[in-house]
Structure formats: C-alpha cells, structure tokens
Amino acid sequence: MAATHCGPLKVVATHCTARLKITTLNWTLPANAPNAQYSYNGKELLQLLRSTVVSHEYSQRLCLPPELEDLIMKCLSDDLAALRCASLTCRSWLAAARPYIFRYPRVHNEKTMRLLLSALRSSPMISNCIRALRIGNPKASDPFIRNNSVTQFLSLLSDLQNPLKNLLSLDMFGVVESWDAKVVKKMSTGLSSVASLSLGRCGVSPDELCAVLCAFPNVRHVKLEYCATVFNGRLKHAALPTLHSPALTSLEVDDKNTLKDGMEALLDCLLGSPSRHTLRSVKLMIGEESVQSVGEFLWALGEHLENLELGFWLHIDTIVQLCSKAVRYVDLSHNTALQTLTLHDPSFPLTQTLLMQVAAPHLTMITLRWAPKAFLCASRALLVGVLNAEKFRKVKSVRCVYDGGFDEGMEPKMRRVFKELDEKGILSIAPKIIVGILVRLLTAVAN
C-alpha cells in the first residue's frame, strides 16, 4: 500500500466500509502516541484527504486523537460530500463528522423538512449539533413557500423530546404563509435558544412580524431583507401574542417600500421593548415611505446607538418626497455615541447633509459607499470640506467602498479627490466585492 508523509504523520490509503465503495484515509501514528505533538499544514492535509484511492477492504477503527479527528472534519466541512464519506469510515469518524454535517442544515422544501425531522427522531443526539437552520431556497425558480409546511415544520421541531437547545440562528426565505398563536407559543419554548432571526422575501402582516420577533426570548440580532406586508384576510384571525420583549443588540432592514405598515409596526415594537436601550448597531436601506418612522426611531435610540449604516432607495418618481421627508425627520445629531458610520451614495446632497449633522466625539471610522458613475459625475467639494472639518479630526479611518469588482482607475481618482485624508494615512479604498469577501471570511473564522 502506498504511503505519503505529511509532517510527522504517516498517511496510508485506504479503507472502505462494508458493502460500500468509498475512499478515506487510515492514519498510522508514531509509537509514542497519543502523547506526541503534531505539526501540520491545513492545505496539505485537505489535499491528502481529497486524493482518493478505491479499496474493497473492510473498515477498521482508526485510533486517532479526538483533536486530530475534529481537525480533519473541519478541513472537510466545506465539502459536504467528502464529509459524508468520511462519516461512513468508522464509528469514531461518524461521531467526529456528525457535528459538522448537521451544524448548518438547509431545508428547501417539504421533502427535506421530513428528512430532517426523521433524522432528529431516530438520532436525538443530532439535535445538539444544529447551530443554524435555513428554511427556503433562494435559487429556486419559484422560491416562495405558500402552504403551511413551514409553520408545521417549526411546530414539530418545537415538540421534539430532545429540543434544539444549541440552535442559535434561524433563517427563513420566501415564507408567505400565515402564522397562528399556537405555533408562536410552541416556538417560544421549543426554540428558545435562537439568538439571530433572519427573514428574506417573506410575506407577513404587521402583527405576525412582531409576534414572530417576540417569540424568541433570547433573540439579539434581527435581519429583514425585501420582506413585504401582506394581509390576505389575516386580520380575521385571532390576535397573535407578543410573548417576550426583545433586547436586540443589532438590527438590519433592507426595504424597497414593501414593508410599509410592517416597518412602522416593527420599529414601534422595538421602541416599546428593552431594545430601545440595548440596540448598538443598526443597518437600514429604506425607501420614501419609511423615512419618517426611521427618523423617529433613530432619534429615540439617541446616545445608545454606536454603529449606524444608512442608505436610501432612490426612485425618480419619489426622490423629491424622500428628500423632503428626510430633511424634516432624520437628524443624526442626537446619536452622540456613534463610533462607526456608513453612508450610501455620498455624492447625493441629502447624504452630505446628514453627514454634516453628525456630532459624535467618539466617531473613529466613516465608510462611504459609492456607485462608480456617481463618483465620477458628482460635485465632491462639499463632501471633502465636511470630512476635513474639525469635528472629524479624531476619525482614524475613512473607507471608500465602490460597487462592483476591482477597477484599477478608481483608486487613484479617489485618492486625488481626498488628498488631505490620504496624506494623513487614514484613507482606504476597496471594491464592494472584496469587502464582502473579507466580511464572510471574518464571519467564518468567528464561527
């Protein structure tokens, strides 16, 4: 049998399970194991694990330290097929692979919902592995789930004998079915560990939105993306309970004038809860209809808010009304504890006006998100003057992020415009795609 070396480890391929033709690796350790110290290169290890040799032998127990088995599964965690093959090698590898296989399950339809429920009932230990659950399929030709399969699925999850006590994140996409009080109450007890709730392209009525948000006693982060307010006779249903008062630390809402009444109900719900004092980070992309409620919301948060990202969806038919409302209702001078501020479309006069309002002595980073064409065409003299003002002298970083991929001509143009900031060494420039990759990498490392 061929042998390959990776540091002090000797790799011998290969074993397979009985009646299954798969490929894995059998590791032969030095004689002084398990007390030996091992060095390794993650990329080399991953390449070795993916170099396959087919065998028909029966599998044997692989006597590896648990830490090394966990490292192997972590290296394979991005390749679900390879991870499943590794789990079939022997019982110890099955135990090591299980937390990674079921850590972030995705259920796209009723079939996958039934499969996950069946697995949880037959192997209760799986429930302890689940950290994040995603419902829905954004890539489907028709991503919307219109029947009651999701509420039934969540109800059955909440009734499991071995609850999902380690579930931290619940992500739902395309759910447009109605919610009832029974399901909300079950989620409140059976899924009480959820700390992050995300709704994407979901259809909910205002009371449903508040009831679902308040169903999770430990929720700290809420994200809404392109959701819509729908009624469809739902007002005829019994009133939904608000079981808990959320104490959020971060909120993200991206709304193209589709939430309407739902946005106002959401913000009123948060201001009537401990979130009014606990919210530290807010990210809002809003249309004309939400300007007043958002302005009043930011005013109420006052000195508690530390990180703010604000942008507007501009439409030629409503841009005048949007500007009029924003000037009247949005005032950032009360958010005196801001440490980071991100503004979209800084070439837009309204955005420059908002920047002039800022009175945050502890502000350390300003991020400006540009559209390349807007940067090239707009008058930037006022913006340059605002950024060089005395009140921003303590700012340690000014980031210019432009939409799209890398453009070699964009950086020198921006550095010429913001020459004084560049000379101070606080100016950084990057395309949006690179910033997004960095954010995902940092999130993966944190997880």
Q: Quick: pLDDT tens for 379-415.
A: 677 788 888 888 998 999 999 888 776 677 788 888 8
**Among all chains, which residue has been given the structure tokens 């409140």?**
188
Distance of alpha carbon 94 from alpha carbon 20, whole angstroms: 15
The predicted structure's pLDDT at residue 34: 40
Quickly list DSSP for 402-426.
ESSS--TTHHHHHHHHTHHHHHHT-
Pairing, β 106-107 against β 132-135: parallel
Mean pLDDT of 265-285: 96
Handedness of CA 216, 124, 129, 144 (dihedral sign): negative
pLDDT of residue 33 exceeding 80, the answer is no
The predicted structure's pLDDT at residue 139: 82
Does residue 221 contact residue 249 with C-beta atoms inside 8 Å?
Answer: yes
- Measured between alpha carbons, how far is residue 242 from residues 198, 211, 213, 245 in Å? 18, 5, 8, 8
- Measured between alpha carbons, how far is residue 191 from residues 26, 121, 162, 166 in Å? 40, 16, 11, 9
More confident residue, 230 or 427: 427
**pTM of the complete model:** 0.79
The predicted structure's pLDDT at residue 316: 78
H/E element, 312: strand 307-312
Average pLDDT, whole number, for the chain? Answer: 80
Burial of 141 per CB tally in 10 Å (0-12, 13-18, 19+): exposed
Mean pLDDT of 53-65: 57
Distance of alpha carbon 71 from alpha carbon 323, whole angstroms: 54
Distance of alpha carbon 100 from alpha carbon 84, whole angstroms: 10
**Among all chains, which residue has been given the structure tokens 């960095």?**
438
For residue 107 the two structure tokens come to 């259920």
* pLDDT confidence tier of residue 376, bands split at 50, 70 and 90: low
Pairing, β 9-12 against β 3-6: antiparallel
Strand ranges inside 81-205, DSSP E: 106-107, 132-135, 169-173, 196-200, 203-204
